[in-house]
């Protein structure tokens, strides 16, 4: 049974990925994972591929025990894994609660690695993994400090895992988009005591474009996908300019 697994599938990029996989991949099932079951059910009304609805909270370790049991019973041929679950918060260290910091690290880092480790025994030659990172992975970002650090972790993990899996013929792509204007991410990120450190999001991209470009880059076997002009330029510039100067530039740009 050829299967794709998508986390964070109830909205935003995750939802777009499910819809694109339905149209562009030959799959028997797409396993969709998110906390909000009702949204996953609604998603199933708009796709032809059979969905396996798994309303799980990936910050709860019990969820992975359930996934282990389901995978062991079904033994699917996982062709594509997309780790799209994640969130961020805007603010200084004073404005973001310790609980939010813990949850960001838990979902953006631990859960992504746990999901990857869980799925890998069921993946074979030609399978693909997309780890949804961020352009913030390329440098430190003040007032996005925990989020950027969590995405840097996922980016480095993706790059190293790609080499480890080379012999098995499994491709790993770190997807590093810029701000996306039509997902829930920005609205969620601004729900802190003071999110005014970042007031505008110029040249923000669209979720459909990001998802389409990321899937194309994955098929081509790219190690890193920068689905847009801003994140592509950022990736190149960050290779040559020290982090301290990049943070200085960010101090100016974030006021735009």
- pLDDT score at 46: 84
Please check the confidence at residue 195 and state whether its pLDDT lies above 90: no
Q: Are strands 171-175 and 224-225 parallel, antiparallel or unpaired?
A: parallel
The CATH number of residue 20's host domain is: 3.40.50.720
Min mean pLDDT across 36-45, 200-209, 228-237 is at 200-209
Structure confidence at residue 45 as a pLDDT band (50, 70, 90): confident
Which residues span the domain enclosing 91? 2-253
Q: Which residues of 110-142 are buried (b: 16+ CB within 10 A; e: fewer)?
A: bbbebbbebbbebbeeebbbbbbbbbbbbbebe
Structure confidence at residue 134 as a pLDDT band (50, 70, 90): very high
- pLDDT score at 151: 98
Torsion sign over Cα 95, 100, 177, 161:
positive
Q: What is the 3-state secondary structure (H, E, C) of 101-141?
A: HHHHHHHHHHHHHHHHHHHHHHCCCCCEEEEECCHHHHCCC
- pLDDT score at 145: 96
Q: What is the mean pLDDT of residues 157-181?
A: 96
| H-assigned helices in the chain | 12-24, 37-44, 61-74, 98-105, 112-119, 145-164, 185-189, 207-219, 229-238, 243-253
Please count the other Cβ atoms lying within 10 Å of the Cβ belonging to residue 108: 24
Residue 252 CB contacts under 8 Å (≥ 6 apart), including other chains: none
Domains contained in the chain, number: 1
Helix (H) or strand (E) holding 32: strand 29-34
CA 133 to chain centre: 5
pTM of this prediction? 0.94
Average pLDDT, the chain: 94
């Amino acid at each position: 049974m050829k299967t794709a697994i998508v986390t964070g599938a109830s909205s935003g990029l995750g939802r777009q990925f499910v819809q694109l996989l339905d149209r562009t991949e030959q799959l028997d099932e797409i396993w969709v994972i998110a906390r909000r079951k009702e949204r996953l059910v609604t998603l199933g009304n708009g796709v032809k591929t059979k969905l396996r609805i798994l309303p799980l909270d990936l910050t709860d370790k019990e969820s992975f025990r359930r996934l282990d049991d389901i995978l062991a019973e079904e033994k699917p041929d996982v062709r594509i894994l997309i780790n799209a679950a994640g969130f961020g918060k805007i603010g200084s260290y004073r404005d973001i609660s310790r609980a939010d910091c813990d949850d960001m690290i838990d979902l953006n880092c631990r859960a992504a690695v746990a999901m990857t480790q869980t799925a890998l025994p069921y993946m074979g030659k030609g399978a693909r993994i997309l780890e949804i990172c961020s352009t913030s992975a390329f440098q430190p970002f003040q007032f996005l400090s925990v989020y950027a650090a969590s995405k840097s972790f996922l980016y480095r993990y993706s790059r190293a895992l790609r080499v480890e899996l080379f012999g098995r013929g499994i491709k790993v792509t770190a997807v590093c988009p810029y701000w996306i204007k039509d997902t829930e991410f920005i609205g969620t990120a601004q729900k802190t005591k003071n999110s005014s450190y970042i007031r505008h999001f110029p040249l923000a991209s669209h979720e459909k474009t990001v998802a389409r470009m990321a899937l194309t880059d994955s098929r081509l076997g790219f190690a890193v996908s920068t689905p847009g002009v801003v994140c592509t330029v950022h990736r190149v510039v960050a290779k040559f300019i020290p982090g301290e100067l990049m943070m200085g530039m960010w101090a100016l740009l974030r006021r735009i």
